[in-house]
Structure 1
Amino acid sequence: MREQGAPESADARLAARLGLLRTERGWSLDELSRRAGVSRSTLSRLERGELSPTTAVLGQLCTVYERTMSRLLMEVEAEPPALVPAAQQPVWRDERAGFVRRSVSPPHAGLRAEVIEGTLAAGSVVTYENPPLPGVEQHIWVIEGTVEITVAGTVHTVGPGDCLRFRLHGPSQFHCPGPDRVRYALMIVLP
């Protein structure tokens, strides 16, 4: 038995996640056994954390649950750290587009939101043909400069201190009309 306040092991989190995936679908152990081709007793022991799954069994379960193994394992990662130091925030640059993206609060399997700092050079345009996930919620708060954001065919001019918020279902475009760059915070919340 683990001490109160001690973190659960990865195996214990995986066992709990496997049990939750089955119950979310309303399947009995017998039904899962039929679908996955894994014995009922093995499944029961896996979900109770008495047995660690082999790669083959985990692969069979991932197929039944329509997940890649990496996605399933990401879903059982430990809780995200509370503090993300600036030096550890990933930065990606697209010099040709004049765009810099800092992942201030990176995505994590245990969290539904992330925070990004975007900087777009004057005159730059970034177009997204499709949302990363239909219905994703976005809040864009401009810190400095001005940006024109096109969502659902409507152009919104967003200036310092303004916040544009919406659910994204189609293409979008960010345009910095200048004369200076725009710097903004983008909050993304998964549906």
Structure 2
Amino acid sequence: MRESGAAEPGSVDARLAARLGELRTERGWSLDELSRRSGVSRSTLSRLERGELSPTAALLGTLCTVYERTMSRLLMEVEAEPAQLVPAARQPVWRDEASGFVRRSVSPPHTGLRAEIIEGMLGAGADIAYENAPVPGVEQHIWVLEGTVEITVDGIAHTVRSGDCLRFRLAGPSHFHCPGPEQARYALVIVLP
């Protein structure tokens, strides 16, 4: 997580902080209960919900798992209702500077549709681990457009190079690593079960 000071009112970070608080409240959980379920300290959760901290990709992945949402769906919930045509300039971008991960929601999730397309960019040396599948059984297709990404799914490591596609149903942890020397750019297609 990154220290960010107070999130700018109306910003994506501020809306994300508010949505995380709403999700906890909707379930009737205290911060202590969410801490127990997620393994994240109560003080960190409190600061996230107040918009004082910006979550890393791994932390956001942990919370998505607890709330049984894909990261895309959570981020979509803090954006306005997406239109059918999503111009490149209006595609939401989320950055995790600490890990070197940039995520662009090319085709955001939409009510009634099960698939979405994400563009991911990992800087050389970037390393992201997700403890669990956000939604067990979610189908993923990862098509590497540039560079190389080492992806571990179900304990099996795959080296996915430019032009290669890895597809799987995610049930447990996953790990993404860009060995470099250049960044990796890939398209991720997510299909909910």
Q: SS at the partner of 1:97?
A: coil
Distance change (3 Å), C-alpha of 1:159 and 1:107: same
**Map of 2:127 onto structure 1:** 125
**Map of 2:177 onto structure 1:** 175
Greater radius of gyration (CA): 1
Q: SS at the partner of 2:89?
A: helix
Contact kept in structure 1, 2:82 and 2:108, CA below 8 Å: no
- Aligned counterparts of 2:84 and 2:93: Cα–Cα separation in 1: 19
Select 1:92's aligned residue among 65, 72, 94.
94
Structure 1 counterpart of 2:128, which letter? V
- Aligned counterparts of 1:176 and 1:108: Cα–Cα separation in 2: 30
Q: Please list the CA deviations of residues 4-39 of structure 1 after superposition, one character each: whole Å capped at 9, or x if unmatched.
A: xxxxxxxxxxxxxxxxxxxxxxxxxxxxxxxxxxxx
Post-superposition offset of 1:110: 1.6
- Aligned counterparts of 2:82 and 2:123: Cα–Cα separation in 1: 32
Are 2:156 and 1:154 equivalent residues in the alignment?
Answer: yes
Post-superposition offset of 1:82: 2.5
Structure 1 counterpart of 2:116, which letter? E
- Aligned counterparts of 1:81 and 1:120: Cα–Cα separation in 2: 28
Q: Which runs of 4+ in 1 moved over 6 A?
A: none
Gaps of 5+ in 2: 1-75
Q: SS at the partner of 2:151?
A: strand
Pairwise CA RMSD? 1.5
Post-superposition offset of 1:81: 3.0
Task: Give percent identity, aligned residues only.
Answer: 76
- Aligned counterparts of 1:123 and 1:87: Cα–Cα separation in 2: 28
**Map of 2:110 onto structure 1:** 108
Q: SS at the partner of 1:179?
A: coil
Contact kept in structure 2, 1:141 and 1:161, CA below 8 Å: yes
- Aligned counterparts of 1:149 and 1:172: Cα–Cα separation in 2: 7
Post-superposition offset of 1:80: 5.9
Gaps of 5+ in 1: 1-73
Post-superposition offset of 1:88: 1.2
**Map of 1:70 onto structure 2:** none
Structure 2 counterpart of 1:97, which letter? S
TM-score for both structures, normalised by structure 2: 0.57
Post-superposition offset of 1:153: 0.3
Contact kept in structure 1, 2:119 and 2:186, CA below 8 Å: yes
- Aligned counterparts of 1:81 and 1:103: Cα–Cα separation in 2: 13
Select 1:142's aligned residue among 138, 141, 144.
144
Distance change (3 Å), C-alpha of 1:122 and 1:80: closer
- Aligned counterparts of 2:87 and 2:144: Cα–Cα separation in 1: 22
